[in-house]
């Protein structure tokens, strides 16, 4: 299965990440640790990325006094920092790890640490080595990779701070271009909408594949998501329904068909050409 999803250009990604780093810095200044940063928790304000982003879902956040530590498992599997998933004491630096994962997903369309099981994924996170030799990184700039290397550091104290990330070479280069380039900045917004739809689908699929436990709140969100695609309410998503949903959110017909074929072929355990989301994924 092709686990990549629609990706956004580096300039667009840089605008998102610059704002995300600034939000993280502000939260940490206020002694707030989010603890569940992920793509689904980023919202674009209006139709223009330069209007800013909103970070939502502070349900797992904590007020953390300076020099204090937390020892409590929180977050989403593919985004969680090594120190958190290893049940060690941790602090606000865990948010920057999650931001680094978000950057990888925006650039390549897939999590940087993705195993064939939950256990394998955890081991990859704990090792913390991004494989830049994989083909999805071929067209990504050296400065973007350098920033990721400085953020996705297993040892928290060596991890780049949000303040330094905002001032990184990649952020500065990609967010300070000419007015002519700025006129094209909003073109990837359509891709981002499709990206987030497919991200939600892949979240459910990958959770099922790796036997990752989904909490009740996430379970309800995913159920509503699948029901919104299931136009005839029969408990199954057909290829045509999936294609229609992708197209509605801005994906091209050709890409929508390819992605729908890939996902259904991987999840269709009953070999009936549909995703049985009641029996296969949501139980």
Distance CA 203, CA 201 (A): 5
Beta strands per DSSP E along 50-132: 53-55, 62-63
Catalytic residue positions? Answer: 36
Specify the DSSP class assigned to residue 161: P
Block residue for tokens 């330069």: 50
| Mode of pairing for the β-strands spanning 237-238 and 274-275 | antiparallel
Return the closest-CA partner of residue 104 out of 140, 135, 77, 80. 140
The pair phi, psi for residue 223, each rounded to 5°, is: -60, -45
Tokens of 92: 């606000």
């Amino acid at each position: 299965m092709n686990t990549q999803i629609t990706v956004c250009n580096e300039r667009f990604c840089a605008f998102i990440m610059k704002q995300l780093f600034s939000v993280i810095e502000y939260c940490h200044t206020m002694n707030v640790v989010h603890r569940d940063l992920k793509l689904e928790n980023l919202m674009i304000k209006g139709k223009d990325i330069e209007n800013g982003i909103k970070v939502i879902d502070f349900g797992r956040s904590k007020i953390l006094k300076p020099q204090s530590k937390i020892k409590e498992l929180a977050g989403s599997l593919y985004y969680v920092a090594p120190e958190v998933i290893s049940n060690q004491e941790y602090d606000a630096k865990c948010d920057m790890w999650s931001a680094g994962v978000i950057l990888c997903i925006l650039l390549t369309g897939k999590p940087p640490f993705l195993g064939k099981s939950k256990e394998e994924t955890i081991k990859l996170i704990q090792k913390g080595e991004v494989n830049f030799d994989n083909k999805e990184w071929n067209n990504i700039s050296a400065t973007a990779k350098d920033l990721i290397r400085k953020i996705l550091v297993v040892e928290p104290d060596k991890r780049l701070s949000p303040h330094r990330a905002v001032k990184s070479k990649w952020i500065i280069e990609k967010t300070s271009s000419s007015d002519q380039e700025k006129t094209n900045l909003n073109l990837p917004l359509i891709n981002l909408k499709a990206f987030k739809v497919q991200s939600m689908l892949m979240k459910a699929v990958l959770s099922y594949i790796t036997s990752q436990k989904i909490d009740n709140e996430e379970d309800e969100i995913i159920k509503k998501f699948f029901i919104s695609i299931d136009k005839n309410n029969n408990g199954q998503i057909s290829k045509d329904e999936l294609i229609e949903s992708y197209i509605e959110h801005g994906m091209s017909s050709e890409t929508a068909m390819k992605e729908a074929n890939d996902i259904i072929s991987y999840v269709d355990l009953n070999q009936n050409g549909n995703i049985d989301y009641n029996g296969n994924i949501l139980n």
